[in-house]
Structure 1
Amino acid sequence: MTMVENVRNGLLIGAGPRGEEGREPWFLDPREILRTVRLRWITVLLPVLLLLGLAAAWTHLNPPQYAASTQILIDPRGLQVVKDGLTPPDQASDASLLLVDSQLRVLTSDDVLGRVVDRFDLAQDPEFQGRETLLGALKGLVARLTGRTEPPADPRLAALRILRDRTGARRLERSFVLELGVTSEDRDKAARLARGVAETYLARDAATRSDTTRRAGEAIEGRLAELRDALRKAEDKAQGFRARHNLVGTRAQLVSEQQLTQLSDQLGAARAKALEAGARLRQIEGVLAGGPSDSVNEIVQNPTITALRGQLAGVERLRADAEETLGRRHPSYQAALVQEKAVRGTIQAEIRRIAAASRNDYQAALASARTLADTLERRKADALKVGDDFVQLRELERQVEASRAVYEAFLVRARELQEQQRLDTSASRIISPASPPEKRLGPPTPVVFAAALVAGLGLGLVGSLGLELLAGRVRSRRRLEGHLGRSGLDALPRAPRGVAGAGAFRASFGTARGDGSYEVALARLRHRLAAAAPGQRPLVVLVTAADDRTGKSVLARALALSAASDRERVILVDTDPKGLVTRDLGAAAPRDLPATLRERGTLGEALITLASGLQVLPRPSDLPRDLAGRLADALLRSDADLVVVDLGLVGGNVVTERLIADERIPVLLLAVSARRGRLAAVDRALKAIGAGRRPRIVVTDVGARD
């Protein structure tokens, strides 16, 4: 016992309590994950190898692809080279977007792509003829076997389909720019094809516009002859009507109408002249009647009267001077007075002459107005006679003008379209030519293999954990503690090879002492058992298991040998129906155990003593059920320090169940193998034992790191 107490805790595997940390799920513990990986390394390795192989096959069957792109500006306005172009120069925004989307379909149409196939001779390019896959080869083989062979596909159609699959186009957001992309196994070929598709589209668009213009021009040319004949017929009809009805004049007005208009104008002018002459005459007659003459322009502006008035002014000055200096009786004064009267008479005579001229002008104007009025009335009567004919003539002339307008419009339009055929009015152009791409499409090969490796490891790890969960193995004390919700379970490492064999009971092993981890753990377990049942003498320990019969028997004999090596009096009792301890012992009991129990004798009569001092009670060939209670009494009355009873499996036989249910035996060990034990079996064993008696679970075969 001193050896056990002085051993360092680091050597006692599973010696101390683990607390609540053992209750967390085992698959969240890195140590349990590593243990699962070590145990199921094939399961982890297989997905890795499979995915790496798939990655290698994928990289081999899928050569690198390079995508080259180019950008084309689709200007919906076009170039208005001539007036009234075929395409309207301005369109609504929504209509423009629809036009660009329509051109997007034209860009990737079979018409454009087919011309690219012919231009670059893709029908002879192995890349655009497709590679035969394994599935295709199998289909071909089945078709040949069934006699349903299909004719070989057209190389041009095959190249067109592949080019269609490798060509994509889209309209950039909020713009009239189309982005075209073409993929190929060769970066230079991808750039050439992208440029070729864009150039073919632009050339095809220009040719379509020219062809549309030509067809429109031809349609107009076809109508020109009909319009020319219709115009000629309308003109002949109007001219014939004019000749039959003697309607002379211009296209807009007849001669009679022109004369009527002129006479009307002349009559108005004559009447205005007569009124003016009458007004002048009345003013002059007013002057003759004694009125002032300064308000009449004819008198004021007359040069003769102006000269006479100058003479009158000189004579009046002479008269005034003579009157002032000589007096009125002087002859000079009288002569001046006579001269003044003579000048005044001359002025009055000149005014009367002007009045007579004005009167003659007035009478002539009145006569002219009357004549023009008479002539106008006669012309009006003549115009009324040709009014109906002129209305019909106007209708015919309007028909002629309409026919002439349509004919001239068609003629001008035909000439414009003839010239427009030679002009490219499209404003679409390549704004970003395609260049060889630098990087291939898809992830690089190292990334593919790295992803396959990571995915394989993930699948393998998840698969291993899943299989481990389905297997329900114990594997470690930590996992069992987490499953049961109990901490501080006892644990023993894997037993040395000699303990599990028949040689364990021979003198050579029995006299040996060891200080290995297994022996130290056994000593610590015995120390705990003694501390758990103080004052018990002898200390009876029942050893059973849920599904590990071999591990249970090894634990029972190891406990007994460990105590015997410390010079304790130990009895090892074999009650297992399989009798593993008895079989390995290879010796028969001195007396039959059932007879000894019936006669209530001591166990010493049926014990076999080994050289190490260990006493073994072999299992008889038949142990009746009614002797289980007497066996317990005999064990409790023995003079040994420790009695280890190797029971059968829980639920295996009645003797085992009765000894487990005997409350006088304080210690019940449930051996659970970490390698071979199953969690479901442990649950069934604990349920069978019942809640009234709580066994002490000992996990065997644990790893060195548990």
Structure 2
Amino acid sequence: MAGITPVIILGWVRRFWLIALALAVLGALAGFAAGTLIPPRYTSYSDILLDPNNLQLVDDDVYGRSATAEAQVIDVESKMRILTSISVLGRVVDQLNLVNDPDILGPGDVAPGGDARIAAILALGDRVRVSREERSYVVTASVWARTPEKSAALTDAIVSAFLVELAETESQGARTASEALSQRLTELRDDAAKAEAAVVDYRQQNGLPMTTSDSQLSTQSAVQLNTQVDTARETLITAEARYAALAAGNEGAGAQESELLAELRTEYATTKKNVDSLAATLGPRHPSLTTARAELDALQGEIDQEVARIVEGARTDLQRARDVFDQLSNAAGAQLGNVFSDEKAQLELRQLERTAASAVAIYEAYLNRAGQVAERSQLNTSKVRVISPAVAPLVRSYPPRTMMLVIGGFIGGLMAGLAVAAGLGFLLHMRQRRVIA
């Protein structure tokens, strides 16, 4: 408004300074009264590491492990919800007998005919706060109470009840799986018994042996003959290759067959070298050259005789190998007729044995798994642990300290007093202007 300056407003305030001072004193008294009369609240805190990766104490555990970061965060947040669940709070109410604790339930907090335990759980739940920092698995749980000791005791009790609840939840899941497996085991045991009984009945009806060592004679003979036929075939192939190499005049093959032939060929080479040397220096009718050539011809004759003997021996061995192979092949073919008649019964028996083996294998797998799951229910693999236990707080969390309330009340009252003083000055100023007008 025109004509009103800060100096004029300051004058108004100076004129009514007693009112401002009185309101400031009243504000300070109000702050002091609030600090001394409002029931205090003491809050204690406890930090818990909710590691989503449990210990793997056994292979192929009942519970899968969280693979992705999103799944791990969901797991942590789910455990945070368990921390404030009715199950956990109910454990604390029962453990500390909070139904009869006036700090938790006042005289009028339970409706007529209401459940005091449920009321205590709800009252305790209103005092619990759970928070988690971003990108962290550390969760902070806090509980307030009227005394520092009660606050710390409530926080520790809630954290302990939470750990017990987690362990029992994990154990209960394993027990439920074990019970389901046990129910299925009864059916599998009956199926395995029926399958094994069918095998025994079929053996008795068809006169089949009870053990593998007592298998049918025809099958044993066929197996032995097939083994002998395979051996005879290998012998025949070797004999054919040997005879072909010798018949083709392969000197290396002949030398390998006979040491005498190798020595004769060595001597022949030496004599041939000597004849060539004499022929180069002597005349064709020289006695020394004639004698050397006669020795060379004699060696060639011995070599030819030895080669012929070796080739004949190889041909004889080849014929013998063919005869043995033909005889064994004919015997094996004749034995097949007996084997086929037995194989029909054996085929059905093997099918029954496979069915029985499969049923027994499934039953044993379920039996082993049921035992593992039953033992797993006794193990606690959780890596959840308390990293900061609750301690009794040194100062109250609400209301603020009395000195802070006094200072705040004084400042607030002073501001209100200044506003009232300025307002009164303005009203007087407006009245004077109307009188003058």
TM exceeds 0.5? yes
Given the alignment, which residue of 107, 119, 133 partners 2:83?
Answer: 107
* Residue 68 of structure 2 is aligned to residue 92 of structure 1: yes
Gaps of 5+ in 2: none
* Residue 257 of structure 2 is aligned to residue 281 of structure 1: no
Match of 1:457 in 2: 414
Match of 2:191 in 1: 230
Given the alignment, which residue of 352, 366, 371 partners 1:415?
Answer: 371
What RMSD, in angstroms, separates the aligned Cα atoms of the two structures? 4.4
Match of 2:251 in 1: 294
| 1:181-192 mapped onto 2 (5 Å cutoff) | 181-192=142-153
How far apart, in 1, do the equivalents of 2:323 and 2:177 lie?
69
Query: Which one-letter code corresponds to 1:89 in the other structure?
Result: R
Residue 341 of structure 1: how far off its partner (Å): 6.7
1:554-584 Cα shifts (integer Å, max 9, x gaps): xxxxxxxxxxxxxxxxxxxxxxxxxxxxxxx
Match of 1:172 in 2: 133
How far apart, in 2, do the equivalents of 1:27 and 1:389 lie?
123
Change over 3 Å in CA distance of 1:22–1:354 after alignment to 2:
closer
Point out which structure has higher relative CO (alpha carbons under 8 A, 6+ apart): 2
**8 A Cα contact 2:275 2:289, kept in partner:** yes
How far apart, in 2, do the equivalents of 1:122 and 1:680 lie?
69
Given the alignment, which residue of 12, 30, 36 partners 1:32?
Answer: 12
Change over 3 Å in CA distance of 1:131–1:49 after alignment to 2:
farther
Given the alignment, which residue of 218, 225, 232 partners 1:270?
Answer: 232
1:417-441 Cα shifts (integer Å, max 9, x gaps): 2332332200000112222223321
Change over 3 Å in CA distance of 1:426–1:316 after alignment to 2:
closer
**8 A Cα contact 1:182 1:190, kept in partner:** yes
How far apart, in 2, do the equivalents of 1:446 and 1:302 lie?
122
Residue 110 of structure 1: how far off its partner (Å): 2.5
Match of 1:217 in 2: 178
Residue 157 of structure 1: how far off its partner (Å): 4.7
How far apart, in 1, do the equivalents of 2:145 and 2:63 lie?
37
Residue 367 of structure 1: how far off its partner (Å): 1.5
How far apart, in 1, do the equivalents of 2:277 and 2:396 lie?
133
Query: Which one-letter code corresponds to 2:143 in the other structure?
Result: V
**8 A Cα contact 1:68 1:435, kept in partner:** yes
**8 A Cα contact 2:46 2:140, kept in partner:** yes
Match of 1:433 in 2: 389
Change over 3 Å in CA distance of 1:283–1:218 after alignment to 2:
closer
Residue 206 of structure 1: how far off its partner (Å): 1.7
1:126-158 Cα shifts (integer Å, max 9, x gaps): 3233377xxx9xxxxxxxxxxxx9648666555
| 1:599-610 mapped onto 2 (5 Å cutoff) | none
How far apart, in 2, do the equivalents of 1:316 and 1:680 lie?
161
* Residue 411 of structure 2 is aligned to residue 445 of structure 1: no
Gaps of 5+ in 1: 1-20, 137-148, 288-292, 474-478, 484-676, 684-706
Residue 321 of structure 1: how far off its partner (Å): 12
Aligned with 2:62: secondary structure?
A: coil
| 1:255-404 mapped onto 2 (5 Å cutoff) | 266-285=228-247, 287=249, 294-295=251-252, 297-306=253-262, 347-381=303-337, 385=341, 392-404=348-360
Residue 81 of structure 1: how far off its partner (Å): 0.4
Query: Which one-letter code corresponds to 1:226 in the other structure?
Result: E
Query: Which one-letter code corresponds to 1:185 in the other structure?
Result: R
Given the alignment, which residue of 81, 103, 108 partners 1:127?
Answer: 103
Change over 3 Å in CA distance of 1:262–1:26 after alignment to 2:
same
How far apart, in 1, do the equivalents of 2:290 and 2:32 lie?
157
1:492-530 Cα shifts (integer Å, max 9, x gaps): xxxxxxxxxxxxxxxxxxxxxxxxxxxxxxxxxxxxxxx
- Structure (1/2) with the larger helix percentage: 2
How far apart, in 2, do the equivalents of 1:280 and 1:109 lie?
90
Residue 30 of structure 1: how far off its partner (Å): 0.6
How far apart, in 2, do the equivalents of 1:380 and 1:66 lie?
95
How far apart, in 1, do the equivalents of 2:193 and 2:383 lie?
42
Change over 3 Å in CA distance of 1:279–1:86 after alignment to 2:
closer
Aligned with 2:391: secondary structure?
A: coil
Given the alignment, which residue of 168, 174, 177 partners 1:207?
Answer: 168
Give the stretch that moved more between structures: 423-432 or 309-318.
309-318
Residue 73 of structure 1: how far off its partner (Å): 0.6
How far apart, in 2, do the equivalents of 1:261 and 1:51 lie?
112
**8 A Cα contact 1:67 1:440, kept in partner:** yes
Query: Which one-letter code corresponds to 2:236 in the other structure?
Result: A
Match of 1:82 in 2: 58
Residue 180 of structure 1: how far off its partner (Å): 0.5
Change over 3 Å in CA distance of 1:338–1:86 after alignment to 2:
closer
Query: Which one-letter code corresponds to 2:138 in the other structure?
Result: V
**8 A Cα contact 2:155 2:390, kept in partner:** yes
* Residue 98 of structure 2 is aligned to residue 117 of structure 1: no
| 1:683-702 mapped onto 2 (5 Å cutoff) | 683=437
Query: Which one-letter code corresponds to 1:423 in the other structure?
Result: L
How far apart, in 2, do the equivalents of 1:189 and 1:453 lie?
33
Change over 3 Å in CA distance of 1:396–1:467 after alignment to 2:
farther
**8 A Cα contact 1:322 1:328, kept in partner:** no
1:89-116 Cα shifts (integer Å, max 9, x gaps): 2332222222211211211223222322
Give the stretch that moved more between structures: 419-428 or 27-36.
27-36
Residue 343 of structure 1: how far off its partner (Å): 6.2
Aligned with 2:95: secondary structure?
A: helix
Aligned with 1:128: secondary structure?
A: coil
Query: Which one-letter code corresponds to 2:12 in the other structure?
Result: E
Query: Which one-letter code corresponds to 2:126 in the other structure?
Result: D
Change over 3 Å in CA distance of 1:315–1:201 after alignment to 2:
closer
